[in-house]
Structure 1
Amino acid sequence: MSLGKHIDGLVYYWSWNSSIFGGYLMFVPLVFLQILTPKFHRKAVDLVVNYWQYYVTTLLFRKKCAIRVTGDPIDSNEISLVISNHRTRVDWNFLWPVMYHAVTGENRWWCSTKFVLKNSIRNIPGAGWVMQMAMYIFINRNWDHDKAKLDDYIEYVKDNYYKHILILFPEGTDYCPQTKASSDKFANANGLPKYEHVLHPRSTGFVYLVDQMRENQCLDAVYDITLIYPDECPQNEEELFLQGKFPKEVLAHIVKYPIKTLPVSKDDLKTFLEKRWKEKESTIANFKKTGHFLQGKLLKHDEYLTLPWAYFTHLFWILVTGSLLTLIYLSNVYCYLVIGHIVSLYLMPMITGLNMYKFRKKIFGLLPRVKEGNKCNRD
């Protein structure tokens, strides 16, 4: 590993991680809005998170990492479930710029992207706190626990007619020699073919989400993303942040499946998912042999991907982070507010078993009402 790459990785990590703390500190004063005006609070949080994800996009733009997205655009005026193969532990870092290019419509900057992630991530200082505020879903591979988390999420989306994007990795883990061996074992036990480029998907969460969200009329479409790294592929955070292993290009192809086109039965939904992964295996194998990827409309937003906009965004996050860290030092009130907020993020789920939305419903009874006829599935 060259010294230059090592420095690149460390600078990227510092920029990425310090801005995370800046974003979190912006959220702290908004905590009271979460109780008093939850819709405005959600919009404010989503806007900050989206602008931070754009910041990551500009960081990769400056690293000359080209994000090439083809296929169907994602409508920001819909509630969308996105499924993707999970090539590396840091796929999420590159899916943010994929979403930047793919999402279209008047609601684009307000349409937040969320992930289903392992429960252990939620308590990582800085990043985990922001993910909690951004309403990511954390699971621990215990179905009783995970089902309750998904039910909470579906309840919130239904009650608030909340337009957003939820990204799910049905494989459950990233592709590596150990997980491939586990996938092969699963294939042998279930009479399935062995895959060389993807892992066999686990269908339980996907089927439950589609089935329940459709029943509650709060899902408009499923988008299937096939993700490929043609050259460098950082397998984990160490390779990306410490070794500076940045891909020169990331390819993503998106196919839209409106909710009305999806199978109705749970068994057929499982088959639908398995077919998508069989197609991914074939697509990636063909790319490895020929260098040709799936064709389709190129999805690209270039208007804000210029060096002036990149430098402005970098300066914004440096000033915000520096100013709020200084405020912690100068203001005891703000310092205690930050400490109290961090403690609440750790203790509320442990003590009450509730997220803030359920806490608000239970204690204050201020459930937001969806306007009559305001359905998620539009004819």
Structure 2
Amino acid sequence: MEACQTLNSDTINELKHYRLTPLRLLRGLACLVVYLSTAFMFLVYFSPVAAVFFRLFSVHYSRKASSFLFGLWLALWPFLFEKINGTKVIFSGETVPAKERVLIIANHRTEVDWMYIWDLALRKGCLGCIKYVFKSSLLKLPVFGWGFHVFEFISVERKWEVDETIMRKMLSTFTNPLDPLWLAVFPEGTDFTEQKCVKSQQFAAENGLPILKNVLLPKTRGFHACVEILRGSLDAVYDLTIAYKNRCPTFMDNVFGVEPAEVHIHVRRISLDDIPVSESECSTWLLNRFHLKDQLLSDFVSQGHFPNEGTEGDLSTFKCLVNCLLVLAITCLFAYLAFFSSVWFKVYIFLSSVYLSFATPFGFHPTPILEYVKSLVSGKKSS
């Protein structure tokens, strides 16, 4: 059995991670306060309009409005990573078109891999339409859990017998090709550690599967469900391979800017025609992709980079600043209305918070009035 590889500073020593100086500590805390306050204000003010009122008349326009607003706020994070923290995000592989409707598969090195997909989505004009299949416990996060619900992330328990019905029901609502969508899936199901890698290798050895050193064996049923249901409405599948210098970061490393020094993202665009239809063949295809991904990461360890680097340019500092100032201005206006204006704004915020607190754990999204009426009419006819 081959040893697992960590892709950290023990194997790559070109750069040293940044020290947590008092300036970085204060800057990180300030950014965290700003991000939490802007997220809260955007959610409590905009959710009743974009995700409730609009949805009563059109799911499509509700999602368009939510996508636009979500994209405004979410752009603060690549700004933090690349401009404030100075993390280099280096893209390689293929250059993908802008504004496609796609399914994304990626390896799961650490708890924040999903955040760096935002850097690619921002460059492609699709930041606000990104959604994730993620563990349901994250819905309990304060404020952010509300956002995961409003923007229709798919929460799972990581038990297929429990998750299949939920996933298929949610995926069936994403089949409109006019709706914006970047749906990201991490087929490994959990982040990579040496202990998990050993267990994965043992399972592979017992079942005649490839022994992987840098990734875990992928769970295939969720991926197949995504491809099966969305195949007719997607433009492509993006296969992303993510690696870090020097060490894999945590969420707080990202906030304070102490790790990573570099994020390397290798992109491959795959046509839906290249992915088999049957579940068994689709599972084999995904396993082969992760086998290739494992080799790509091994090459990264030895060479320090992925092949064909430089496929994406740097973010515009000016555009990032304008977006940041716009979000801050909107947040300041909302804060002023909440604290110094009519009492009705306080009532609005209270009712919005109550709605989000109850709708999030129950996964409630309003049904459009027209659809509701049609279901009532069809129900009466059938009876």
TM over 0.5: yes
Size of the aligned set, in residue pairs, is 353
Distance 2:87 2:127 in 1: 25
Identity %: 26
Do 2:74 and 2:128's aligned partners in 1 also have CA atoms closer than 8 Å? no
Q: Helix, strand or coil for the counterpart of 1:356?
A: coil
Give the superposition deviation at 1:244.
3.8
Radius of gyration: which is bigger? 2
Give the superposition deviation at 1:109.
5.1
**1:58-99 deviation per Cα after TM superposition (whole angstroms, max 9, x unaligned):** 222222112122233444554310000011101122111122
| Corresponding residue number in structure 1 for 2:307 | 294
| Corresponding residue number in structure 1 for 2:365 | 356
Distance 1:142 1:194 in 2: 24
Deviates more, 1:287-296 or 1:276-285: 287-296
Assess, with a 3 A threshold, how the Cα gap between structure 1 residues 366 and 164 changes in structure 2: closer, same or farther: farther
Note the residue ranges of structure 2 that are not aligned, 5 or more in a row.
Answer: 1-19, 377-383
1:93 matched to 2:103: no
Note the residue ranges of structure 1 that are not aligned, 5 or more in a row.
Answer: 368-379
Distance 1:273 1:15 in 2: 40
| Corresponding residue number in structure 1 for 2:15 | none
| Corresponding residue number in structure 2 for 1:6 | 25
CA RMSD of aligned residues (A): 2.7
Pick one of 238, 250, 253 that aligns with 1:239. Answer: 253
Assess, with a 3 A threshold, how the Cα gap between structure 1 residues 64 and 348 changes in structure 2: closer, same or farther: closer
Distance 1:134 1:349 in 2: 11
Do 1:87 and 1:175's aligned partners in 2 also have CA atoms closer than 8 Å? yes
Assess, with a 3 A threshold, how the Cα gap between structure 1 residues 314 and 366 changes in structure 2: closer, same or farther: farther
| Corresponding residue number in structure 2 for 1:318 | 328
| Corresponding residue number in structure 2 for 1:24 | 43
1:344 matched to 2:363: no
Pick one of 56, 77, 80 that aligns with 2:77. Answer: 56
Structure with larger RCO (C-alpha < 8 A, sep 6+): 2
| Corresponding residue number in structure 2 for 1:334 | 345
Assess, with a 3 A threshold, how the Cα gap between structure 1 residues 286 and 321 changes in structure 2: closer, same or farther: same
| Corresponding residue number in structure 1 for 2:155 | 138
| Corresponding residue number in structure 2 for 1:268 | 281
Counterpart amino acid of residue 339 in structure 1: F
Assess, with a 3 A threshold, how the Cα gap between structure 1 residues 193 and 143 changes in structure 2: closer, same or farther: closer
| Corresponding residue number in structure 2 for 1:259 | 272
Counterpart amino acid of residue 337 in structure 1: Y
Give the superposition deviation at 1:358.
4.6
Counterpart amino acid of residue 365 in structure 2: M
Distance 2:228 2:42 in 1: 34
1:114-153 to structure 2, matched below 5 A, reads 114-153=131-170
Counterpart amino acid of residue 115 in structure 1: Y
Distance 1:175 1:227 in 2: 12
Counterpart amino acid of residue 27 in structure 1: F
Q: Helix, strand or coil for the counterpart of 1:298?
A: coil
Give the superposition deviation at 1:176.
2.0
Do 2:60 and 2:179's aligned partners in 1 also have CA atoms closer than 8 Å? no
Counterpart amino acid of residue 20 in structure 1: A
Task: With the length of structure 1 as denominator, give the TM-score of the two structures.
Answer: 0.83
Q: Helix, strand or coil for the counterpart of 2:75?
A: helix
